Chains A and B, each alone.
Chain A
Amino acid sequence: MTDFPANSGSAEDLLAKVALGDRNAFRALYEATSPHLFAVALRILRKREWAEEALQDAYVQIWNKAGTFRPTAGSAGAWMSTIVRYRALDHLRRKPREEQAEEYHDLPDTQDLVRRLIDTTDLQVCFEDLTAEQQRAVGLAYIEGLSHAELSDRLDSPLGTVKSWVRRGLQALKECLTR
């Protein structure tokens, strides 16, 4: 006979309950995850108002799609941050970033961030296979949602060069992660 397992409140558990229509679990999930997801949206959209809209879109989708989450395919946090990124990118599609529209200046440097956050995952090991330029290009594109043209501006390098950093960076990651 097994012990009685504790009914823990991990994001995975909460998401499972959300899939069954449990509104209180949804509220608990929101409380636990929204500061993180809001930060993800804010880094891409840089306007609080837009990030709030993207966050709303994301949680509506999380409520509707919770049943499609598969714990075997990754963490609940990864699944949800993927959703919020897509909603933020959709937002950029509808309302391209205006020049100088940034309300949000106190961001820590993305490159520092990339270094700090890839410390405990497979990605760290593999990220080391990339050149510094490739790391910067892939990291900035992911975290800030920058297009090739924006990367080219930010990294002060020709468009073709930047595209190749992204492409080769992805190829190196793929090779390393599937080795």
Chain B
Amino acid sequence: MKLENRQLQDLLAGEYVLGTLRGPARDRFERYLQDSSELQQAVAFWETALAPLARCPAQEPPPQLLTAIEKRLGWHPAPQAGGWKLPWLPSLAFALVAAFSVLLWAPWEARLVPDFSVNVATEDGALQLQAAIDRTHNWIDLRLVSRPPLSSDRDLELWLLVEGEAPVSLGLLPEHDGSVQRIEARVSLARAQGLAVTVEPAGGSPTGAPTTAPIAVQLFPTT
């Protein structure tokens, strides 16, 4: 299979997305796809172009399917195998499993599950930032989806809005889209009301307080 030819690439990518590329040819195409950014682009084109065809009348999946998915994601402890001979053993085993589940599972849950998430974005969507707030550990996981273009002498700074107090700097936003970072807040997140982003001189506000009005503000949901 020669893939140098642009038209052939487009066609194969189209048939791959469509699904008519089958069998060994499909396997081969997937191998090429891993290493070729041109092929990846061609596939992305067809995925977007043909996606409207997937809009068909909805069909409810069975209600237990979400639980099955959560099990596969490891969110539920695996069910215990049966085959007990003594009548009291299942309840003892259950008690033990339950006790260990609480011991082993609870801290893990608490570590990974944020209290809530918010999106911080400008109206035009040039800045998009997702933040997951974990009050238990007093940290915020940030993911920068996109940031507006800025001149080199400007930076974006993130602020925590605290009730009755001046905003607290959480540092500069990452330079690159898609960056993920965890910020340990120096003030209690229990008192925090929201997040804001301002444009500041390079390196961040020289005064420790915002020097301009925020370009984006997002309040936390009230509990």
A and B from one complex: yes
Partner pick for B121 among A5, A93, A113, CB 8 A cutoff: A5
> Provided the pairs A16-B119, A19-B130 are in contact, do residues A81 and B113 lie with their beta carbons within 8 angstroms?
no
Contacts of B130 in A (CB 8 A): 16-17, 19-20
Given contacts A20-B132, A171-B11, contact A42 B59 (CB under 8 A): yes
Residue from the set B15, B53, B143 with the largest chain A CB neighbour count within 10 Å = B53
- A155 nearest CB across to chain B (Å): 13
Number of A-B contacts (CB under 8 A): 193
A23 within 8 A of B: yes
Contact present for A21 and B141 (CB under 8 Å): yes
Q: Mark B5-19, 1 if CB is under 8 A from A, else 0.
A: 001001100110111
Select from chain B the residue with minimum beta-carbon distance to A108. B57
Given the complex of chains A and B, what is the CA–CA distance between A35 and B194 in angstroms?
A: 34
Could you show 18 A-B contacts with beta carbons less than 8 Å apart?
A: A7-B218, A16-B130, A19-B130, A20-B130, A30-B69, A34-B61, A35-B61, A56-B69, A77-B51, A78-B48, A78-B52, A78-B54, A85-B54, A93-B23, A113-B56, A138-B18, A142-B54, A166-B15
Q: Name B residues whose Cβ lies closer than 8 Å to a Cβ of A.
A: 7, 10-11, 14-15, 17-20, 22-23, 26, 44-62, 65-66, 68-69, 72-73, 75, 112-114, 116-119, 121-123, 125, 128, 130-132, 141, 143, 145-146, 178, 180, 194, 213-219, 221
